[in-house]
Amino acid sequence: MLETATNRWDLYRVLSEPVRLRLLALAAEEELAIGELAELLEESQPNVSRHAAPLRSAGLLAVRREGTRTLLKLGDGAANDAVIADALASGRALCEADGSLARIADVVRAREALGREFFAKGGARGASAPSGFPSELGAYLSALAPLLPDRALAIDAGTGDGGLLEVLAPLYDKVVGIDRSEAQLARAKERIFARGFANVELVQGELDGRDVRRAAGAGADAVFASRLLHHAPRPAVFMRQLADLVRPGGALVVIDYARHDDESMRDQADVWLGFEPAELKKLARSAGLEDARVSPIPAPRVGAGPDKHIGWQLLVARKNKKGAKT
């Protein structure tokens, strides 16, 4: 703030204009754009800018640029000066008298008018069909990521074309996608490139293979296996292989079919026609996992694939923190 006698005199000069007192008081109440201040003060924008300039030079107003707009608010610490505090009180009284102080709320509400009209017409940016996922899903998942207590590594067993990677990559620091098929991994690689996922590693091989074990390191915080178990010739062995990739204290997440009688699914290479919840829990326990829980997945969430008519279910089980079998 201005300290010398000469500068103090300049301060009194700057504050001698009623329009500046009113401008200062309004900016102390709310950060406002030049156009908004012009509306409140009933002055032209060039005139508002002209009056704001000496207030800015004196450090009484702080300026923020937002695109083509210039926003003004009271400078930090300005109100601590006794002269400025008195000027603010005088300006506020003037604004109360002319009604401009009360109109600030209307000006702020007007900022929403364009948005209200836009959304009232159903023109949400990036909107998809009501039945589809939002195109900005990755951003929402990134917002959820800090809420996960353990998210260093996730493994997507049988990643296929990488659909699940769309969910896992924004949530975990690192994701390993595993598949035996070179063709499927090529499609997953295209997806990774298109999405810019720099934290995803793809590995071709069996779950118990050397490359997979290397990528898993000391184990993953979470291992996901979506609609794989019904393809496994020996589900118990497959469940153990999945569990071996989980770190102590980590979780295994299995999505698979509930027991059904649609023999046509064998044409999709299904070895088993789903599983009873009790079967899944038993398989988890035999793999050394604990606290196994099975819950149904509501039909509207399973998509529109050829298996949409079959009940889906979710198994979540954990490896105890000592890593020993229970």
Q: What is the pLDDT of residues 127-141, one digit of tens each?
A: 444 556 778 888 999
Q: For tokens 């109440």, name the residue.
A: 29
Longest dimension (CA), the chain: 95
Q: Map residue 257 onto helix, strand or coil.
A: strand
Homologous superfamily (CATH) of 137-319 is: Vaccinia Virus protein VP39 (3.40.50.150)
Catalogue the long-range contacts made by 45-49 (C-beta closer than 8 Å, 24 or more residues apart): 47/19, 48/23
Report the chain's terminal Cα–Cα distance, integer Å: 70
**Is the pLDDT score of 4 beyond 80?**
no
The reported pLDDT for the residue numbered 132 is 66
Which residue did the predictor score with more confidence, 137 or 247?
A: 247
Q: Which residues pair with 222 in a beta bridge?
A: 154, 251
**Is the pLDDT score of 172 beyond 50?**
yes
**Quick one: which of 170, 176, 174 has its CA closest to 138?**
170
Could you tell me the residue ranges of all domains in the chain? Answer: 5-120, 137-319
The reported pLDDT for the residue numbered 184 is 93
Cα(282)–Cα(199) distance, rounded to whole angstroms?
34
Instruction: Evaluate whether 168 touches 192 at the Cβ level (below 8 Å).
Output: no
The reported pLDDT for the residue numbered 153 is 98
Write the CB contacts of 162 (distance below 8 Å, at least 6 apart in sequence).
156, 177, 187, 188, 189, 191, 192
CATH 1.10.10.10 for domain 5-120, yes or no, is: yes
How confident is the prediction for the chain on average, in pLDDT? Answer: 90
Instruction: Evaluate whether 276 touches 260 at the Cβ level (below 8 Å).
Output: no
The pTM assigned to this predicted structure is 0.69
pLDDT band for 39, please (50, 70, 90 cuts). Answer: very high
Question: Residue 259 to residues 7, 44, 148, 273, 276: CA-CA distances in angstroms?
Answer: 85, 74, 32, 6, 6
pLDDT band for 288, please (50, 70, 90 cuts). Answer: very high
Tokens of 119: 């959304």
Same fold, 5-120 and 137-319: no
